[in-house]
Amino acid sequence: MTDRPAAGPGAHEGEPGGHETEPGGHEAEPGGPEAGPGPSNRRWDSWGLLALAAVFIVGAMSGLVATLLHRVVAFDLPAGLVGALAVAAVSGMLARAAADFGGVLLNAAALLIAILALTYLGGGTNVLVADDNTSLFLLLGVPVLAVLVPALTPRSWYGDA
């Protein structure tokens, strides 16, 4: 009998157990999937919750600015609507940089809530969002663009590559 401990199921010849192999017979790298949370397993600590709160506030403020801006017309062109769509795109990109895709969705929800609140919660006869094509683009285009632009931009822009 030898004094050596028995080799584990994935140990190499002459080595005591401890090296695990993957199903294809390749040796698993140390610090593999069990090593800790990676970028996709973000842990929401107090800084993460602060980032989500900031993303929500930025989204709501962007919705306010987009709603007020979308009616501006310059030289018979909807310059305000283009500006509102640009505000939504930049807001979505900031949300992705701060809180990944969860932040993007939260930002789009805050944008939509702010736009809908300014559309339907106003009393009196003044109207911020009229019943026309420009307002339809505001209601539909701003939240969609706030999600699509960050989704279609490269991961390397946000540091989560």
| Structure token digits, residue 54 | 């900031």
What is the CA 79 to chain-centroid distance, rounded? 27
Give the largest Cα separation in the chain, rounded. 96
Q: Which two tokens stand for residue 30?
A: 């140390």
Q: Which pLDDT band, with edges at 50, 70 and 90, does 41 fall under?
A: very low
- pLDDT-derived band at 19, boundaries 50, 70, 90: low
Cα(110)–Cα(142) distance, integer angstroms: 11
The answer to whether the Cα torsion of 28, 34, 35, 37 is positive or negative is positive
Q: State the pLDDT confidence band at 144, using cuts at 50, 70 and 90.
A: very high
Query: For 42-95, what is each residue's pLDDT tens digit?
Result: 555 777 788 889 999 999 999 999 988 888 888 888 888 899 999 999 999 999
- pLDDT tier at 158 (50, 70, 90 boundaries)? confident
Q: Name the residue ranges covered by the structural domains of the chain.
A: 43-152
- Tell me the pLDDT of the chain averaged across its residues: 77
Q: Is the four-CA dihedral 72, 77, 81, 83 of positive or negative sign? A: negative
Q: What percent of the chain clears pLDDT 90, i.e. is strictly above it?
A: 27
pLDDT band at 124 (very low <50, low <70, confident <90, very high): low
Q: What is the pLDDT of residues 22-39, one digit of tens each?
A: 555 555 555 545 554 545
Of 112, 128, 120, which Cα lies nearest the Cα of 56?
112
